[in-house]
Structure 1
Amino acid sequence: MSQRPFLLAPESDAPFPPAELALRQPDGLLAVGGDLSPSRLLNAYRGGIFPWFSEGQPLLWWSPDPRMVFRTDHLHLASRFRRGLRRSSWRVHADTAFDAVVAECASRPRPGQDGTWITDAMREAYGVLHRAGHAHSIEVFDGARLVGGLYGVAIGRMFFGESMFSAESGGSKVAIAALAATLREWGWPLIDAQVENPHLLTLGAQRWPRGMFLERVRELVQVPEPVANWTARFGELPAARLADLSGD
């Protein structure tokens, strides 16, 4: 195995090295360089690879082992949280406030992180993907106020989660629960959660060996699905319904 990450060719359609060649230390670092063009990003996700870097760093591309994954039929919501959901007046939509969701994700402090990895270049790149129908946001509203959400990239029947936020307690839980419940209805089995953290584990995320993850991704991204805005397809989902819809 190479002891250094691969240097990507400058052409946006240049292939990535196989994700299996990612480094052990730091875990999952595969490649350096390239750009954030739509073709480069989509090629990365199809190969189980994602960008993650801070302002001032070169572009870094990752495929960690193990990989954090949600099964859409196995999201865990605590009983107390479910009871609160039944009284909630929140509503969930998709792709009505993509830029606002990304901005909120970028501005929220994260434990153990100094600043954000969602740079201006990242925000612009995922905005381009969104307008092309590849990137999507899930938004949780209390009236007109955005109280939680997430965004990510959809290819075939695979959703690659990028980041989520809460402006009110439980906002991100409602967003991931709404996404999981909806994708399960659509026949999408998995949500990529990238890197382990304690919050994801409490919601039922699982550690998958990278090889197992890549095998499923390579199958799911080949399934034909419309590339389009999700607002109409997703509809409006009352958060209260998630108390009974979410799998466990």
Structure 2
Amino acid sequence: MSTTLPPPGPGHAPWTTDPYANALRNGRGPLFLRRPDGWLLPLDVERWCADADAADLSALHRCEGPVIDIGCGPGRLVAALTARGHRALGIDVSDAAVDHTQRLGGSALRRSVFDPLPAEGRWGTALLIDGNIGIGGDPGALLRRVAVLLAPSGLLVAEATPQDVDERVQVRLDDGRGAAASAPHFRWARVGAAALLRYARSCDWQPVDEWEADGRPFLALRHARTLRSPNLAARRPRDLSPWCDAPASHHR
């Protein structure tokens, strides 16, 4: 599948910059999130660009129905799901990420999770893996948005930060070589399992499973109430529109 979309707007520029695109194209870092105080969070580009590992598979084995991978990156999870017979779609604001996912044989669109998306209210599972609970710097807002995307009784599988943290920060992408010193800052969040559970419960999500694999903590959650209209809730997964028929958008 090939989809041509206009460039992302200024608010989503950080993930379209050269350091991120180059890291994905090369399959390796270094790549970091840098706070204004100089603190660095290494990003595991090599793992993202490899095949799905045992920890990833522990999450994918729990997926139900059609799956949307939010912030899919280079697409290893979408490819693994597709190979296992799931209908899966990745969304990401990076051209490099979408291109990489499609080269692996997966379906992907350049979109923001906060944009209109295909099949809203009908996804069986949503994934927030590899720190993507941090998208937008507001876990509560992200969890409320995901609730709208899922079908009634749909499943959210989210990965938490291994440390017991709950922070919202301004960061920028940094390649460790000084080339990204002028990269724009953007909002990000880091939440451990306890904090993620607090945010989830405050947004009417209920935990149904919690586990750790290779030092990575995961939670599976279901929303406690239906946010979709009855006509959408009644549709079956086979009624999902083709990804490429969705309207184009330029945000993440």
The structure with higher relative contact order (CA 8 Å, sep 6+) is: 1
| TM norm. shorter chain > 0.5 | no
TM-score by length of 1: 0.30
